[in-house]
């Protein structure tokens, strides 16, 4: 009986350790695409350990701007949190979930987050309701901060025009 209990504890320990070794961490993240889709504007940015780029902009005009524009070092430093502080839920949920909240309900925008990894794992893409009261608590602050950052980047981009 004692030997069986020891074997069971050993098996449970191994089963707990193995999945933990294969879970993605923020150090395995190569890039994050983030942006907003709304009725007035759709924009995507890409942040990497070295640069912040705007690579897609649609202001519901005739022309979509898909030229890659490298943004300033200050904007990259301010946006680094998008890459450096990804909630663990966004590193794992993409295998079963791709959206949270009531997307396109009313007039609120949809937050876009796509996480790319350094290994051969496929990216995890999410569409998240900008009304953070409707999404999991584990990602609320992150999504709220992404929304604020995108708004600030859009404002700064409009001032340059």
Is the pLDDT higher at 95 or at 75?
Answer: 75
* pTM, two decimal places: 0.79
Bridge partners, 57 (sequence order): 43, 65
Q: pLDDT tens across 16-60, in order?
A: 433 443 455 667 899 999 999 887 788 899 999 999 999 888 877
Indicate if the alpha-carbon torsion angle 90, 94, 95, 99 is positive or negative: positive
**What is the 3-state secondary structure of the chain?**
CHHHHHHHHHHHHHHHHHHHHHCCCHHHEEEEEEEEECCCCEEEEEECCCCEEEEEEECCCCCCECCCEECCHHHHHHHCHHHHCCCHHHHHHHHCCCEECCCCCCCCCEEEEEEEECCCCCCEEEEEECCHHHCCHHHHHHHHHHHHHHHHHHHHHHHHC
Q: pLDDT tens across 96-136, in order?
A: 888 999 887 777 899 999 999 999 889 999 999 998 888 99
Average pLDDT, the chain: 83
Q: Does residue 15 carry a pLDDT above 70?
A: no
Lowest-confidence pick of 82-86, 92-96, 134-138? 92-96
Is the pLDDT higher at 5 or at 52?
Answer: 52
């Amino acid at each position: 009986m004692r030997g069986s209990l020891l074997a069971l504890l050993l098996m449970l320990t191994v089963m707990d350790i193995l999945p933990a070794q294969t879970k993605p961490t923020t150090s395995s993240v190569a890039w994050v695409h983030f942006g907003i889709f709304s009725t007035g504007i759709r924009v995507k940015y890409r942040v990497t350990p070295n640069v912040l780029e705007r690579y897609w902009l649609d202001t519901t005009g005739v022309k979509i701007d898909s030229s890659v524009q490298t943004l300033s070092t200050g904007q990259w430093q301010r946006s680094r949190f998008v890459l450096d502080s990804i909630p663990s839920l966004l590193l794992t949920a993409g295998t079963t979930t791709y959206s949270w909240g009531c997307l396109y309900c009313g007039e609120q925008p949809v937050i876009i987050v796509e996480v790319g990894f350094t290994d051969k794992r496929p990216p995890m893409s999410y569409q998240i309701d900008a009304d953070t009261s409707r999404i999991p608590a584990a990602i609320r602050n992150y999504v709220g901060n992404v929304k604020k950052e995108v708004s600030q980047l859009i404002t700064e981009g409009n001032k340059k025009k």
